[in-house]
Structure 1
Amino acid sequence: MKDPQHIIVIGASAGGMPALTRLVSNLAGDLPAAVLVVQHFAPESFGQHLVDRLARHTTLRCLLPSHGDKLEAGTLYLAPPDRHLLVRDGTLMVTKGPRENNYRPAADALFRSAAAQYGSAVIGVILTGMLHDGTAGLEQIKRSGGRAVVQDPDDAEFSSMPESALINVSIDYVVPLAEMGALLTQLVQTPPSGPIVIPQDIKMEAAIAERIVGETEDIERLGTPVPLTCPDCGGSLWQLTEGSVLRYRCHTGHAFAAESLLESTQHALEETLWVALRMMEERKNLLTSMAGRGQGYWSIQQEERIMEIKRHINRLREFLLNGQEHNSSTEQAG
């Protein structure tokens, strides 16, 4: 097989497999590009089944890659479950590095890696999905001279990922799935533009994901420390200073777009409040047992403390349940 002239990187989440099968059905097996795909799915998923499903709809060679595989034209590589897919020096890296935007594999990690290695030869594609993965990586592809393609949100089963990209990145093409295969085929027929200087911050972040570097000093070159902690490891966070997407990193490698970090802290807060509710219930039960064995003034004091903690329990439970109902209605609206 020939070395690829272009690298097409695709990110998809909710609704992604039906969208991917439609897209690859319009890509020929002699495509002068390698196609690398991140589809969010559960860590216990059987990746080969998904590769076989894609292979039934295209003449591209479809693979679940192994670490060190050579990157070849006319081949589609699907990131394995619970592994990041990266590229370096014409080969694939399959790693269990830190999650990005709470995902592994993450589209941001793949997009950034491709941008750092191949610059203007990269075409980044965002398909249907929830939340924001892929937006920062697409912006890094653009800063490295590559091109950005987004599925029309009106055509996407879930519009959050395409909409996030459109809000934050200067997109070159916004098309429905029915037109995307022909567009990609057209784009890879022309040679990439001349070489450009890849921004140093993109190279540095790619090296962090590859575990080549990852010391605190390396992160300090990319951003400034902020009074926030990483929801995954509890380490300090740095706000990254380059690019148009507000992002954060910790020195162990976890990375978040601002929206993803906000969602993570919301989950952590909710878990903490449920623990607090359980502890208050246990305290109430203990006080009730003590009051039943007491007499006179001491028993009256315990009853007052029980009534007070019951009020706190009811308020906290109402807050938690109302918050869950609000989040559910917001997700349905999105």
Structure 2
Amino acid sequence: MDNRDIVVIGGSSGATAPLKTILGALPADFPASLFIVLHVPARSLGLLATVTAAAGRLPVRAAADGMAIRPGTVTLGVPDHHLILTETGIRLGRGPRENMARPSIDPLFRSAAAAYGPRVIGILLSGLLNDGASGLEAIKRCGGLALVQDPAEALADEMPRSALEALEVDFTLPAARIGDVLSELVRDPAGPRLPIPPELRLEVDIAAGERIDSDVLRRLADPAPITCPQCGGVLSQMRGAKPLRFHCQVGHAFSAEAVAKEQETAVDEAMRVALRIIEERAELVRRMGRDAREAGRPAVAAMYEERAVEYRRYAETIRKAVLKRPAPEPSGDEDA
């Protein structure tokens, strides 16, 4: 029987420090293969060097399409490609972004679950929003183990907390303990292989870049009256997803929290545009009223002046609403 020899790790904001701690605690004879995705900007530099320095006793490589899976090796996701595991090796996917990120944590976790089932250990570190929770849930559904960094010590606790709310994880640990616990878990035999849900394989194919259309999407989701923040298409709600998630026909994927965040930015912008337009309208009719009064048309002037007062009242209401809105949150990506 195989051991739990596939370890996948994901994180975003604040994840670099705990990742260094975990890798630094692993022994030179660590028998499992490790795969890491951190949400970083497409042109971020230095992450490979950072991870290599932290993993001192283990070899580190940047993922490449067609690479074989090697025990005792750390493989790092590369910018602008999803890191996907298959039964035969590593695949780099150019499928649509998930939660505005590529590479994204969830495609790595889902692909590992689909290909290796109970052999997988998933680890979710510090980060914003709820990226990774869906992938961890897939790992658990396929018989794997789920570990989460203790939210109390995470620099950004939203990702760990979201995972704890979405599923029953096996371990919640501070980063200083994860390495030692992981070294023991990878030597344990994996459980029996479980059936892989067909919708899980379909989502892996989408991340790999396979074609998606309305017929494909209808097999795993139902249309919702919500617009895709990335392409403007219709979003469909994934059936039975934990946490709540959406796909559009292009393939862009979002958790409900990610959609809400993008909408928050759009609403803020729309309100500021509306404020500018109404203020300009108030100024225009004020000038029209003055022009009418100078031309000896007092009734017309009074009408325009009344409208100007009304528009200024609307503008003041919108201005107060804009000032009360919370400032947009940071993206959650961090440079290495």
| Stretches of structure 1 lacking an aligned partner (at least 5 in a row) | none
Secondary structure at 1:55 match in 2: helix
Tell me by how many angstroms 1:299 deviates. Answer: 2.4
Amino acid at match of 1:174: T
Are 1:139 and 1:243, in contact at CA under 8 Å, matched by a contact in 2? no
Tell me by how many angstroms 1:261 deviates. Answer: 2.0
Bigger RCO of structures 1 and 2 (CA < 8 A, at least 6 apart)? 2
Distance 2:61 2:3 in 1: 16
The residue that corresponds to 1:273 in the other structure is 271
Secondary structure at 1:124 match in 2: strand
Tell me by how many angstroms 1:13 deviates. Answer: 1.4
Are 1:4 and 1:72, in contact at CA under 8 Å, matched by a contact in 2? no
Percent of matched pairs sharing the same residue: 37
Of 86, 104, 107, 1:106 maps to 104
Tell me by how many angstroms 1:294 deviates. Answer: 2.7
The residue that corresponds to 2:132 in the other structure is 134
The residue that corresponds to 1:43 in the other structure is 42
The residue that corresponds to 1:13 in the other structure is 12
Secondary structure at 1:266 match in 2: helix
Tell me by how many angstroms 1:243 deviates. Answer: 4.4
| Stretches of structure 2 lacking an aligned partner (at least 5 in a row) | none
1:175 aligns with 2:173: yes
Are 1:4 and 1:34, in contact at CA under 8 Å, matched by a contact in 2? no
Tell me by how many angstroms 1:88 deviates. Answer: 2.4
Tell me by how many angstroms 1:168 deviates. Answer: 0.9
1:281-292 to 2 correspondence within 5 Å? Answer: 281-292=279-290
Between 1:210-219 and 1:240-249, the stretch displaced more is 240-249
- CA deviation profile, 1:202-257 (whole Å, cap 9, x unmatched): 11111121122412111111122222222221222222123443221112111122
Are 1:84 and 1:105, in contact at CA under 8 Å, matched by a contact in 2? yes
Distance 1:91 1:27 in 2: 23
- CA deviation profile, 1:34-68 (whole Å, cap 9, x unmatched): 2111112223321xx11111211222212222233
Are 2:98 and 2:252, in contact at CA under 8 Å, matched by a contact in 1? yes
Secondary structure at 1:23 match in 2: helix
1:49-198 to 2 correspondence within 5 Å? Answer: 49-58=46-55, 59-198=57-196
Secondary structure at 1:11 match in 2: strand
1:194-209 to 2 correspondence within 5 Å? Answer: 194-209=192-207
Distance 2:3 2:33 in 1: 6
Secondary structure at 2:230 match in 1: coil
Secondary structure at 2:54 match in 1: coil
C-alpha root-mean-square deviation of aligned residues, in Å? 2.2
Distance 1:266 1:36 in 2: 33
Moved over 4 A (4+): none
